Amino acid sequence: MKLSASPDRFLFRALACAAVLCVGTGYAAAQISLYTVVDLALRNSNKVQIAVAEEQKAEAGLSQSKDVYIPSITFGSSLGYSYGFPIGQPSIYNLTAQSLVFNFSQIDYVRSARDSVRSSRLSLENIRQQVAEDAALTYIQLNTLLQQKSALDDEFAAATQLVSIEEQRMNAGLDSKTAYTQARLTAAQVQLKQIQTEDQIASKRQHLAHVTGLPANDLTTNPDSIPPPPQLSDHPQAAINNNPGILAAYADAHSKLQTSYGDARQMLRPEVAFSVQYSRYARFNNYADYYKNFQENNLGIGVQISVPLFDASRRSRAAQSAAEAVRAQRAADQTRDQMLESTLQLQHGLRELAAQQQVASLERQLAQDQLDTVLTQMKSGSGSPSTPPMTPKDAAMARISERQKYINLLDVDFQLTQAQLNLLRATGRIESWVRSSVNSRP
């Protein structure tokens, strides 16, 4: 898989950079979409560029394994002075062409190179999936943190109001000092969460800036650009069949197996090579005095057949490559088993997280209903003489509770999304999910 950059994508990237630069010229924040973040991360990732270089190296290795059948042409000269009986060849220049005609092992080496190219392409795809997952999760987490920051600001305003109310009630003798201290503690805890959330926001912005090359200042997400995670009902075996990392491991193992076949067939098998040589001899040497029928133009064509009978180094190399093939196969099996176990855990975890999300959503809805009830009773009364009237203290506490439940819901939502994206990467579909955010918009 090669990286391709169409003019539309370059234009899209340029527009994204221009949008971010508008921060200093009038916009309060630079809003960027999920697709743009992932696209820029894939373009700027050092891991992706290294994988691209590895793929190019593998393709060059495949070409090299085939090029031995193409004649190599060499031009040379052996000019020199000779005295007495001539030594060597008095060639003014010579042309030599040599190539391999047949070798039992070379067929296996070509197959090994093909599998190596396939492995490098799958490794590139796997790395792209990893980079896309990292960028998408960072973007979604930043979006969640920004929403939590807004909710914490509302909660802190309610907590500050509660402190003021409790102070007035304490001075009026309606509440104890303990209630006032508790209100101050609540406000301090909310303020601590604000500071922690702001630090996390700065960290996620810096990470996005690092992977995309965009400035980190005021980098803001666009919630509408985040597509809903797809429904994942695949069997864990689908993760193995579609995971590029596992496929790359098995392709690499098969490549090493083909190499071991080739090394094992080096001995006791003929090798045929073809050679052509033309030489232009010089007359100013004294070859004509010692050789009968000396001529200037000389041409030789032939084949060379060799059969290795014994070579200890080749035998040792065959044993080494066989052991390497076994190791690669076992490593691929281990990767497959680990992926199967992690995929099963992800699928079971999704059920639990979905249940937690439902609980958190109901808790938040209940807190919202209680807040609405308090605000309604404060405005219109309870409608019952036996029910005590609601006070601003009740409204502040209900607001704090509702904001806390909302923040908890955002946490659970992100954990569920994270698990879903992990499963998407396991099945090799995270890039298609990111592209769906563009395809679903007009």
- Evaluate if residue 10 carries a pLDDT over 50: no
- Evaluate if residue 84 carries a pLDDT over 80: no
Task: Name which residue leads in pLDDT, 238 or 111.
Answer: 111
Q: CA distances (Å), 383 to each of 216, 367, 370, 379, 390, in order?
A: 54, 21, 16, 11, 12
DSSP state letters, 106-136? HHHHHHHHHHHHHHHHHHHHHHHHHHHHHHH
Nearest to 70 by CA among 42, 99, 95: 99
pLDDT at 221: 92
pLDDT interval class at 21 (50, 70, 90): very low
Q: Which of 139-153, 226-240, 259-273, 279-293 has the highest mean pLDDT?
A: 139-153
pLDDT interval class at 7 (50, 70, 90): very low
Q: How many domains does the chain have?
A: 1
Q: What percent of the chain has pLDDT over 70?
A: 88
- Evaluate if residue 26 carries a pLDDT over 60: no
Judge whether 42 lies within some domain: yes
Mean pLDDT, residues 258-276:
92
Judge whether 332 lies within some domain: yes
Decide if 58 contacts 118 (C-beta within 8 A).
Answer: no
Each residue's pLDDT tens digit, 280-295: 888 777 777 777 788 8
Side chain identity at residue 294, one-letter code = F
pLDDT at 11: 39
Judge whether 270 lies within some domain: yes
Q: What percent of the chain has pLDDT over 90?
A: 62
Judge whether 2 lies within some domain: no
Q: CA distances (Å), 284 to each of 95, 267, 277, in order?
A: 20, 47, 22
Task: Name which residue leads in pLDDT, 222 or 440.
Answer: 222
Judge whether 1 lies within some domain: no
pLDDT at 381: 67
Answer positive or negative: Cα dihedral of 360, 366, 369, 375.
negative
CA distance 219 to 142: 9
Task: Name which residue leads in pLDDT, 13 or 311.
Answer: 311
Domain harbouring 320, CATH code: 1.20.1600.10
Judge whether 430 lies within some domain: yes
Instruction: Specify the long-range contacts of residues 7-10, CB closer than 8 Å, at least 24 apart.
Output: 9/39
Judge whether 97 lies within some domain: yes
pLDDT at 152: 96
Q: Which helix (H) or strand (E) holds 254?
A: helix 244-264
Each residue's pLDDT tens digit, 121-130: 999 999 999 9
Mean pLDDT, residues 24-28:
38
CA distance 324 to 332: 12
Each residue's pLDDT tens digit, 424-439: 888 888 888 998 877 6
- Evaluate if residue 383 carries a pLDDT over 90: no
**84 Cβ neighbours under 8 A, 6+ residues apart:** 286
Q: Lowest mean pLDDT: which of 84-88, 151-155, 250-254, 364-368?
A: 84-88
State both tokens at 120. 């490098």
Q: CA distances (Å), 362 to each of 227, 365, 417, in order?
A: 23, 5, 18
Residue recorded with tokens 């596992």: 246
State both tokens at 19. 């949008």
Mean pLDDT, residues 369-396:
80
Judge whether 163 lies within some domain: yes
Each residue's pLDDT tens digit, 294-310: 888 889 999 999 999 99
CA distance 114 to 3: 20
Domain that holds residue 70: 7-439
Residue-averaged pLDDT of the chain? 86
Task: Name which residue leads in pLDDT, 392 or 87.
Answer: 392
Mean pLDDT, residues 257-278:
92
The CB density around residue 416, as the number of other CB atoms within 10 Å, is: 19
pLDDT at 4: 42
